[in-house]
Amino acid sequence: MIFASFEFLFLFLPAFFAVYAVVPAGWRNAVILGFSWAFYAWWRVDFLTLLIGASLLNWLVALEMARAGVGSARAGRWLAFGVGLNLAVLGYFKYANFGVDTFNDLLGLAGQDPVAWSAIVLPVGLSFYILQGISYLVDVHRGDTPAARRFLDYAAYKALFSQLIAGPIVRYSDIALELAARSFTLAKFGAGARKFMVGFAMKVVLADTLSPVVDAAFALPAPQLADAWIGAIAYTLQLFFDFAGYSLMAIGLGLMIGFHFPRNFDNPYLAASIQAFWQRWHMTLSSFLRDYLYVPLGGNRRGPGRTYVNLMLVMAIGGFWHGASWNFLIWGIWHGGLLALHRLWSTRSAGRRDPRRRGERRDALAAPLPGGVERRGSGDRRRDAPRALPWWLGHVLTLLAVIIGWVIFRAVTLAEAFGIYAGMLGLHGAGLSDALAWHLTPDRVATFWLAIAMVYLPGLLILARARGLVPQPETSMIARVWWFAWPVMAFLVAIVLLYSRDAVPFLYFQF
């Protein structure tokens, strides 16, 4: 069952809200847990036991750490035990096939027979709920959040269906207070429903319409220049509207029942540097990598050389987390290298502008790593490195680097990725092949350009409102009506499209 399906929209969701609305507040976590387990079991009932087991493990380990004392040596041993088990589960289900396949490839090169192996099925959402478990244990050990006393509360957090499968990666500390007590109001329900409808339209109207174009382009054995660039740009758009749409739907569903999940996207394709891109893309993963990998490794506090190594290592791990494939590892290294180059360039640029800043070390939380935010007092402010380039040039270079990375991220094999790269360089010709042209129907071409327009629309609206060209929703009745009306219209269009074609799974389900 996926959000963009009739089973979810007209069976699961109405039943959930009907029960949730009538039970006493003290029973609502139990309702969340029961429906969430049923939601997860829709795919594979047997994998539900793995989710329950992971929930029970982390809950018990956290309690033992709390009994041992925050930061104590005994609590540290419990932390190592819990994190180790979480990583072992993730490693077995996600990376065992890759390890055996790689070993068999080496045996083949040596002229030896391969090892017999039955492929392991990856449970849906495993990567996300394992990361949640690790963040919970580390936060309890650091004293950033208390251990959950009731298994019901922790299990409800762990299984919460609105963010279980593909994030955003919600930390226990983000919603611990709301797990204990939250309001279920019409205002929150309406605001959440609006977010859900917008995310649903992003997924069905834009991402799913572009999906056949992407599949056709990446299936070409020798894509030409137009084929490769159309396919790469279409995937860049598809992935954003698919994943950002899912995240917005999850945030909306959470708000409908009183939870405030962290934002996961902030117009990443408007970024003018690779650092800004990672501050805006998959923000909950970016902050996880920063807080639980980059900073513990030393961040930028141990000199420039170690900083570059940390950036490369963290992004390589982040890439490999996405999937057991050399493609994902290379993609992570690509972005790690880009972040390291950006830091080197920005440091030298700052030194040239102000010699007093040479050698200055910035706080680790403000480092140019995914999710880097400078924290000052009660507010957070993005810290932009000095730029010698105009915004438009930085934006073009950043987007080009991101598109190049998305090619190897999308390709099934390295050979497929290299084929697209060769096409992007025009090595297979400069035209548009008939095989791809057949898929470029008028509705898909229109969606392609609409998606591009939607990428830039938020930035244009900000500029227009700053100059008084567009009224604020709270100051204009027409703007207010439109603010409420267009998500409903977009949702209805998405429902019609969903009825006319098969549901397309969310792209991040496979990661």
Tens of pLDDT, residue by residue, the chain (511 residues): 788 888 899 999 999 999 999 999 999 999 999 999 999 998 889 899 999 999 999 999 999 999 998 889 999 999 999 999 999 999 999 999 889 988 888 888 888 888 888 888 888 889 889 999 999 999 999 999 999 999 999 999 999 998 888 779 999 999 999 999 899 999 999 999 999 999 999 999 999 999 999 999 999 999 999 999 999 999 999 999 999 999 999 999 999 999 999 999 999 999 999 999 999 999 999 999 999 999 999 888 888 888 999 999 999 999 999 988 999 999 999 999 999 999 988 877 766 555 444 443 333 333 445 444 333 333 334 444 445 678 889 999 999 999 999 999 999 999 999 999 999 999 999 989 999 999 999 999 999 999 999 999 988 888 877 777 776 666 677 777 877 899 999 999 999 998 888 777 777 766 6
- Count Cα atoms within 13 angstroms, Cβ side, for 306: 12
Contacts of 95 (CB under 8 A, 6+ apart): 324
Closest C-alpha to 273, from 402, 374, 359: 402
Does residue 399 sit within a domain? no
**313 and 368, same domain (yes or no):** yes
Report the alpha-carbon distance of residue 277 to residue 400 in Å, rounded.
12
Does residue 322 sit within a domain? yes
Q: In this structure, what are the phi and psi dihedrals at residue 204, rounded to the nearest 5 degrees?
A: -80, -45
Contacts of 320 (CB under 8 A, 6+ apart): 328, 329, 332
* Domain span holding position 300: 273-372
Q: How many CB atoms lie within 10 A of CB 450?
A: 15
Closest C-alpha to 245, from 32, 500, 498: 498
Report the alpha-carbon distance of residue 278 to residue 294 in Å, rounded.
14
**291 and 421, same domain (yes or no):** no
Is 74:132 a contact under the CB 8 Å cutoff? no
Q: In this structure, what are the phi and psi dihedrals at residue 381, rounded to the nearest 5 degrees?
A: -135, 130
Report the alpha-carbon distance of residue 21 to residue 250 in Å, rounded.
19
pLDDT of residue 373: 37
Domains in the chain: how many in total?
3
**178 and 318, same domain (yes or no):** no
**199 and 92, same domain (yes or no):** no
Closest C-alpha to 56, from 154, 161, 186: 154
**253 and 310, same domain (yes or no):** no
Is 420:223 a contact under the CB 8 Å cutoff? yes
pLDDT of residue 473: 63
How many helices (H) and strands (E) the chain has is answered by 21, 2
Altogether, the residues listed in the chain come to a count of: 511
**240 and 294, same domain (yes or no):** no
pLDDT of residue 303: 83
Coil vs helix vs strand at 209: helix
Burial of 160: CB neighbours in 10 Å, binned 0-12, 13-18, 19+: buried
Report the alpha-carbon distance of residue 156 to residue 161 in Å, rounded.
9
pLDDT of residue 377: 34
Does residue 316 sit within a domain? yes
Does residue 144 sit within a domain? yes
pLDDT of residue 510: 61
Does residue 402 sit within a domain? no
Does residue 482 sit within a domain? yes
Does residue 392 sit within a domain? no
Q: Cis before residue 168, ω within 30 degrees of 0?
A: yes
**291 and 429, same domain (yes or no):** no
Task: Report pTM.
Answer: 0.89
**295 and 430, same domain (yes or no):** no
Selecting among 322, 335, 395, 428, the annotated active-site residue is 322
pLDDT of residue 389: 77
**168 and 229, same domain (yes or no):** no
Structure-block tokens of residue 98: 């890759």
pLDDT of residue 351: 60
**194 and 177, same domain (yes or no):** no
**38 and 144, same domain (yes or no):** yes
Give the residues across from 374 on adjacent strands.
381
pLDDT of residue 360: 38
- Among residues 153, 182, 211, the one where a domain terminates is 182
- Among residues 182, 197, 217, the one where a domain terminates is 182
Does residue 377 sit within a domain? no
DSSP string, 311-375: HHHHHHHHHHHH-SSHHHHHHHHHHHHHHHHHHHHHHHHHHHH-GGGTTPPPPGGGSSSTT--EE
Report the alpha-carbon distance of residue 342 to residue 394 in Å, rounded.
11
Report the alpha-carbon distance of residue 247 to residue 3 in Å, rounded.
11
pLDDT of residue 246: 93
**52 and 153, same domain (yes or no):** yes
- Among residues 134, 150, 182, the one where a domain terminates is 182
Coil vs helix vs strand at 379: strand
Coil vs helix vs strand at 376: strand
Is 465:473 a contact under the CB 8 Å cutoff? no
What is the three-state SS of 9-52? Answer: HHHHHHHHHHHHHHCCHHHHHHHHHHHHHHHHHCCCHHHHHHHH
Report the alpha-carbon distance of residue 386 to residue 389 in Å, rounded.
9
Asked about 322 being catalytic, the answer comes back as yes
